A and B are shown apart, each in its own frame.
Chain A
Amino acid sequence: MSDYQATNAASSGVVVDKKHIKQLSRRSDKPGLIWLAQWLGFLLATSYLIHSSQNTVWLIPAMFLHGIFLTVPAYSLSHECAHGTAFKNRTINEVLFWISSFIYFEEPYHRRYAHTRHHTYTWINGKDAQMPFETPMDFKGWLLEVSGLGLFFYELKVFFENATGRFSDITREHTPESELPKLQRGAIIFLSAYATLIALAIAGYKWPLLYLIIPRILGGPVMLLFTLIQHVEMQENQVNILNSTRSFTTNWLARFLYMNMNNHVEHHLYPMVPFHQLPQLNESIKDQLYEPDPGFFRTNLEVLSVVIRRSLGKSTKAATIRQDPSMINS
């Protein structure tokens, strides 16, 4: 028998008819392909804005807008493909996994194994491989996280560790020994591709900077505001997903960019349910869940308020969003 309890529906006391979950988990290519076509449509439109605004004051706003539409969906698609739930067709899933992970800035094998660990030990200190910031978070930690600098330097370190075969302890814990050469090969391929992009930019080609590098940097903070509120201020070191994870309501555009991952509690309870079925999963289990927090902007503003007050030594009680009592210093 196992000596651990994975963090999921079973560990959280959430019960759904097995046949219903299997029905919701059925794979299909159609929703993913429609989403992909819409994403490419948005990218074409924002790329045109960049093209049209060159040599004007609108260039930076256009690159910021393009960066949001490039970066947030790239993160979302990489995550969905890491689970293998984006498409029924495995080849489509894996090709898009590599492309979206390239934009997100994480080597795909490492991403899949680290995320596996995140689901087994969600928000458990020392075991969850995707707890990217110190908790409780203060304003300095928030700036490091939301600016993208924290993620950039962490992933860069992982890239060089894996490319040189000097795997960290946590990587060795979540990756079988036989798979480590794949991580090394993937890291070398990605670092070579990033170096090529930078070399092209230095050689005078504008497109890597205009359409990829600068927009990725500018869009990074928006992506990180989405990922920040998945678990921040929630309970650590226990197995109940309802206490460690946050869902929030949001508008149609955010749901599109984030591939419905605002239903984050639902995703952690049943990770085999594809993104397009998460609203239906929510309908099925909402009477067993806490109310979702009120909106992407409001949840983020309250988190920001909490971390600023924590840095100032003031009360850290949030106004309305869910917050573990251990995070509150009144």
Chain B
Amino acid sequence: MSEWHRVCGTDEIDEEDVIQFNHGDKVYAVYNTEKGFFATDGICTHEHQELADGIVIGTVIECPLHQGRFEITDGCALSAPVCIDLKTYPVKVENNNVFIEL
């Protein structure tokens, strides 16, 4: 059964940036992009690296370790060395708070 979990206030993620959200033993990345807030798995599918240390370019997240790129909105792996998509999660904004459905 999935539930909504509060991640942070909307002003706690800079525009075109990402933060890490830990829940249980899993790591998620929550993004503030030009198209709104989004969430994906927080670890790169190529090698073990937290994506929250990467940079957001438009709606693309670039892994800081090898510069592999994913489309944030659908998790699609865009360019080598990444070739496995990221899992994405529903996000909503209520009363200036960002929530993720897990």
Q: How many residues of B contact A (CB 8 A)?
A: 21
CB-contacts of A264-281 with B (<8 A): 270-272
Residues in chain A near residue B69, CB distance under 8 A? 84
If the complex has contacts A6-B47, A116-B66, are A26 and B81 also in contact, measured as CB distance less than 8 A? no
In the complex, whether A310 has a CB less than 8 A from a CB of chain B is no
Q: Is B55 an interface residue (CB 8 A)?
A: yes
Query: Judging by beta carbons under 8 Å apart, are B65 and A8 in contact?
Result: yes
Other contacts beyond A109-B80, A178-B83: 8, CB < 8 A: A6-B65, A25-B55, A84-B79, A88-B57, A119-B66, A120-B66, A272-B54, A272-B55
Most buried by A among B49, B62, B79, B81: B81
Q: Give the distance to chain A from B20, nearest Cβ to Cβ, in Å.
A: 10
Task: Evaluate whether A120 and B65 lie within 8 angstroms (CB atoms) in the complex, with A22-B17, A109-B80 already known.
Answer: yes
Closest residue of chain B to A182, judged by CB? B80
A189 to chain B, nearest CB (A): 16
Q: In the bound complex, do residue A112 and residue B81 qualify as a contact, i.e. CB atoms below 8 Å apart? A: yes
> Are A120 and B47 within 8 A (Cβ)?
yes
Q: Which of A8-54 contact B (CB under 8 A)?
A: 8, 18-19, 21-22, 25-27
Task: Please state if B67 and A179 are interface contacts (CB–CB under 8 Å).
Answer: no
Residues of chain A with a CB closer than 8 A to B48's CB: 1-2, 4, 6
Does chain B have a CB within 8 A of A176? Answer: yes
A158 to B84, CA, bound (A): 25
User: In whole angstroms, how far apart are the Cα atoms of A90 and B57 in the complex?
Assistant: 11
* A113 adjacent to B65 (CB under 8 Å): no
